[in-house]
Amino acid sequence: MCPFLFGTIGAAIDLKKLEFYLIPKSLLIILCGIWMRMTATYLCVWKKKFTLKERFVAVIGWTPKATVQAAIGGVVLDRARKDIAKTSQYFDEYEQYGKEILTTAIIWILITAPLGAILTKNLGEKWLTKTESKWI
């Protein structure tokens, strides 16, 4: 499902129509969101019997990789254009919100999906060791 979702989003993205003035604001939102999620994940595994490297692999593994952003990134803009009459006094405001959310979602996808996959694979292989489980 995810390759299909990312493929259709990738095909639909036209970087020429991207609102470039929103990129700094989007990056700040993304960095704050990732920082909060990483901090929360680290605190969740803090008192467990994990090594430091295992904790960091958990943090990286729980970093969002853009599936939700790909699925709902354009919903607000689409709703603004379809459901809110263009004669409405709120149309411009909702359309602007939609552009901001869509721009942030696209940047989120372009940054976190490949970076998260690469870090999870490479650091997981280097930092984790396979042991026999007592439970099986």
Domain count of the fold of the chain: 1
Whether 96 is in a domain gets the answer: yes
Whether 49 is in a domain gets the answer: yes
pLDDT of the residue at 40:
92
Question: Mean pLDDT across the stretch 29-43?
Answer: 91
Whether 136 is in a domain gets the answer: no
Whether 5 is in a domain gets the answer: no
Share of the chain above pLDDT 70, in %: 82
Model confidence over 76-101: pLDDT tens digits?
Answer: 778 878 877 666 787 888 888 888 88
| pTM metric for this prediction | 0.71
Helices marked H in 46-90: 52-61, 67-72, 75-82
pLDDT of the residue at 42:
93
Domain boundaries, position 55? 23-125
pLDDT of the residue at 93:
84
Whether 113 is in a domain gets the answer: yes
93 or 2: whose pLDDT is higher?
93
Question: What contacts 24+ positions apart, CB below 8 Å, involve 120-129?
Answer: 120/57, 120/60, 120/61, 123/56, 123/57, 123/60, 124/57, 124/60, 124/61, 127/53, 127/54, 127/56, 127/57, 128/53, 128/54, 128/57
Interatomic CA distance for residues 136 and 133, integer angstroms: 6
How would residue 39 be classed by pLDDT, with cut points 50, 70 and 90?
A: very high
How would residue 43 be classed by pLDDT, with cut points 50, 70 and 90?
A: very high
For residue 9, pLDDT over 70 is answered with no
pLDDT of the residue at 36:
92
